[in-house]
Amino acid sequence: MTQHATPRLPAEWEPHERTIMSWPTARIWEEDARYVRKDIARLARVLGESEPVMLLASPDDAERAARACGPNVEVVPIPVDDLWARDTVPVCVDSAEGILGVDLNFNGWGGKQPHDHDAAVAERILDALSIPRTQARIVAEGGSLESDGAGTLLVTESSVVNPNRNPGRTRDELEAELRALLGVSRVVWFDGVVGADITDAHVDSLARFTAPGVVLLDVAAPGAPKDVWSRSAEQARGVLSRERDARGAAFDVVDLPQPDLTRIRANSDEFLASYVNFFVGNEVVLVPEFGDRRADRRARAILSEHFPSREVVAVRIDEIAAGGGGIHCATREVPSRSSVSGM
């Protein structure tokens, strides 16, 4: 494999060339496919108003997807299985040679579901975009990695140091690979939760950067009973209180509370009621709108404070959330190639 100059994993708030999404198939979603497709189309249309959106769709679904998403969304006939582009589309890093795509060897979150088409998405999309491909020597997903763009990476141990992805590999070995692949100098590990959801607890529903050193933390709604997720958040808070970032600075942790589950429109055993699973676009921040009006307003206000130059737009994604994911899970940004040389 060709050796490149030290890469850098940009922060999500840096300029995007485009954002990539995927069209869910009936094989995965069965009778719910038409409902979740409405959510994906709505999300793609909203984002497409302010930046280029490329939506991957199996050839048999491409025409239907194009009609649903409208003229601002480019539909590309690449076979997919599901909508979780964050995990299947490659992680793009920048270097002296330009943008490179890191293929993290998606394996259906540790073999929990068959995803033969999604396993090939990284290579196919990099070929379509003429971006050089680097194949990782580990298995991971984009949702398990959170970057501040300045050398710090947040990771949940449960989703990477796990025999369903990387059997026989130690955390130190995997951290060395992440440092080399992504050009980070500080990796902060949270315990996460093994087996409580299909992802083994991705970090992008737990803790997100809004700037170097500033982390929004997913916490339960006030008065909610403790569960594995609230205990995971408290463990992450403890780690962040002790750790330092790549600059040697302490973390500023800001709570982003979940909605009251008795006040939201929809719910299920897998429902992801996390505002932390937001997406930072070039001009907007997209955040879920769950139907708990007080919590929805609070989340928008917190995000507006942290991203004052962007419009915070609430998007209804009840079907996506019922499937265990969110807006961030359904999107994957490609950094702007024109801005790499100036970073």
105: left (phi over 0), alpha (psi -120 to 50) or beta: left
Which class for 3: exposed (0-12), middle (13-18), buried (19 or more C-beta within 10 A)?
Answer: exposed
> Is 92 a known active-site residue?
no
| Cβ-contact 158, 165 below 8 angstroms | no
Which class for 208: exposed (0-12), middle (13-18), buried (19 or more C-beta within 10 A)?
Answer: buried
Cα separation, 18 vs 46, in Å, equals 14
What DSSP state is assigned to residue 299?
A: H
Specify the residue for token string 């899970």: 329
What is the helix (H) or strand (E) element at residue 22, kind and residue range?
strand 16-22
The catalytic position among 40, 41, 215, 329 is 329
Question: In b/e form, how buried is each residue of 132-152, taking b as 16+ CB within 10 angstroms?
Answer: eebebebbbbbbbbbbbbbbb
Q: Catalytic site residues?
A: 329
